[in-house]
Structure 1
Amino acid sequence: MAEKPPALQAQDKLAFLLSLVPYLMDHDRVSVQAVAEHFGVPQDQIRSAVRLIAVSGVPGETSQYQHGDLFDIAWDDFEDNDQIVLTHLVAIDDTPRFSSREAAALIAGLQYLSALPENGDRDVIGALMAKLSRGSSGSPSQVAVAGSASDTTLALIRTAVDEERQIEFEYVDSRGEHERRRVDPLRIESVDQDWYLRGWCHLREAVRTFRLDRMSGLEVTGEPITHRAGEITLPERLFEGSPDDLTVVLDVAASAMPLLADYLPDAQPVPSGKGRVEATIRVAHYHGLKRLVSRLPGVVRVVSPPEARRVIAEWADAGAAQYPRAPSAGTG
């Protein structure tokens, strides 16, 4: 004969009810059996808890419990069909809510996350978006996040990683050279708004890092990969130097140094006063500095060599020339 489960203490009953009410709110209609299986308790315990919920609430202005101050359920469904449907909630609408604009912003962010291949559990993200829609103070604005070419590339690479297949693509390296690469994809990583693939390059016969927006014509081949992530030690840094790299000295705000961690060699930055430091970085060519400087305006200044300063100055002048100059003020 099966032993009767021990009776719940008052504290346990409260914890159970605090879990049960949100669960029932998230399920418009649910059977007693399904709820019992979810919480791992007998069905009679669920029925008793539902009856207790139906006589619970918050007293109104009269300090007495009126009909509208209590939870309510669809009693016919409960008694005849063993189905639980909450028909009236109390003390729920008094909680702080997101504004419709805040909810729309969060939903837009969740839509973007759900589109990324590494976020496989899209059901959870979808349920959270539905909660935000129901729980905001007004109906959120309808928003949609447009996809990009990188989203398609990410999806293809994720497929190749999952199926352990090689990929081929045209790649434009940092020097502007075009090459066809065949790669064993090992890991996808992001830095700021850019996505990178780390993999074993069959052309270079070594681990290489590829920026996704420089790829084109990507294909997942039928060839299995020959190198796996568990068999290769990937460098801790996303960007690794090479003997052909050029060195550049920068004057940088000390607080911005963590943003340059992937570019720095082993040499330590030297304090230069007023919260700034001089740091030496390695780049494939001086034109690669343009992206770095444009992202950190006023924070990074190229100190040397003169050729690097010249490249950045010409690039800045060319950009400024695209804007019309304000007319000079006349003299009286």
Structure 2
Amino acid sequence: MNAPIIWDREIAAYRFDKPNEGIKYELPGLWFSASEIHALLTMQQLLSSLGPGLLTPHVAPLLTRLRAILGNDRYPVQEFEKRIRIQRLNARAYEPEHFLPVATAVLQRKRLQIEHYNRSTNQITQREISPQRLNHYQENWYLDAWCHLRKDIRRFSLDSLRAVRITTEPTLDISDEKLCITLDSGYGIFSGHELQWAELIFFNERARWVSQETWHPEQQGKFDEAGRYHLKVPYSDPRELAMDILRHMPEVCVVAPPALRQLIQEQLQKGLALFKTSSSCEPPMA
């Protein structure tokens, strides 16, 4: 930019010198209209909803300037922030300080040493992983990585990490094709290689709602003459699919496969048992 920046030994800092007679310099300005500032503040609220303290240290100075600029605007900042709300539902809390090293390792292609908590076994294991990509899914962050302990691709939720440390070792890179086949072909956040197709039928009002939803990128859906909505989705692990089906009861029927149909029946029976056997809602015997 031809700016005359010099080192001043007396003040031990860099400063601007007198401009030269040659090529003139000009620092680029940053100008925003009111509508652009409103859009930036909306984006900031959206970013804030992705996780606690995710970008706050980096964007706080900019937000201070934006609020100062909007101070004389006819739309007060307080009114703006009150009228636009972004609510985080079903989001699990994670340690904010873990996000930065994880994101840094993903971008710089470095391995991570982690302590991973497994809710199913209630145990913590130490692992070395090669991070591949970050996913934000259903209000939660997940890290797709090659696990050197298990010698396979794994998906770790950030809320399950108890400690994170970046190493100097380069990552073992996995191809995008292999990641997609392993992690993205199944239903929801659960991965798997062996795919099955679930066939569902939705009735009445629920059919109209579900017809506008995306359950899977490869889903197949159509209405029949009776107004029922037929939906086919691939899955490898039935856990998340079963939860989505159950929340639409009683206006959904599982047609196939038989194993999924039986799983839903068992879940419904266990749920009814809580109401029939005890007023204290103690879980039934497994």
TM range (shorter): 0.5 to 0.7
1:140 counterpart = 2:66? no
Change (3 A) 1:219 1:103: closer
8 Å CA contact 2:47–2:54 kept in 1: the answer is no
Change (3 A) 1:195 1:272: farther
CA distance in 1, matches of 2:55, 2:41: 22
Q: Which amino acid aligns with 1:37?
A: E
Q: Which amino acid aligns with 1:170?
A: H
CA distance in 2, matches of 1:172, 1:188: 19
SS in structure 2 of the partner of residue 309 of structure 1: helix
Deviates more, 1:268-277 or 1:215-224: 268-277
CA distance in 2, matches of 1:315, 1:246: 25
8 Å CA contact 2:235–2:241 kept in 1: the answer is no
Larger radius of gyration: 1
Q: Which amino acid aligns with 2:98?
A: T
Change (3 A) 1:248 1:308: farther
The correspondence for 2:155, drawn from 209, 214, 224, is: 209
* 1:170-198 deviation line (CA, Å, top 9, x unaligned): 2437xx34573431112112123122211
Change (3 A) 1:189 1:132: farther
CA distance in 2, matches of 1:109, 1:257: 22
Question: Counterpart in 1 of 2:27?
Answer: 38
Change (3 A) 1:211 1:123: same
What are the within-5 Å matches in structure 2 for residues 45-194 of structure 1?
Answer: 108-109=45-46, 111-112=48-49, 115-116=53-54, 123-124=61-62, 127-132=65-70, 134-135=72-73, 137-138=75-76, 140=78, 148-149=93-94, 151-163=96-108, 164-172=110-118, 176-177=120-121, 180=125, 181-194=127-140
* 1:166-225 deviation line (CA, Å, top 9, x unaligned): 23232437xx34573431112112123122211112133233322333x13232153513
CA distance in 1, matches of 2:266, 2:221: 23
Question: Counterpart in 2 of 1:276?
Answer: 229
8 Å CA contact 2:94–2:158 kept in 1: the answer is no
Cα displacement (A) at 1:279: 0.9
CA distance in 2, matches of 1:132, 1:150: 33
1:249 counterpart = 2:203? no
Question: Counterpart in 2 of 1:67?
Answer: none
8 Å CA contact 2:70–2:76 kept in 1: the answer is no
CA distance in 2, matches of 1:136, 1:318: 59
Question: Counterpart in 1 of 2:5?
Answer: none
Question: Counterpart in 1 of 2:144?
Answer: 198
* Alignment TM-score, normalising by the size of structure 2: 0.54
Question: Counterpart in 2 of 1:288?
Answer: 240
Change (3 A) 1:207 1:320: same
Task: Using the aligned pairs only, state the percent identity.
Answer: 19
Q: What are the ranges of 5 or more consecutive residues in structure 1 without an aligned counterpart?
A: 1-32, 41-91, 325-332
CA distance in 2, matches of 1:158, 1:132: 32
CA distance in 2, matches of 1:206, 1:118: 35
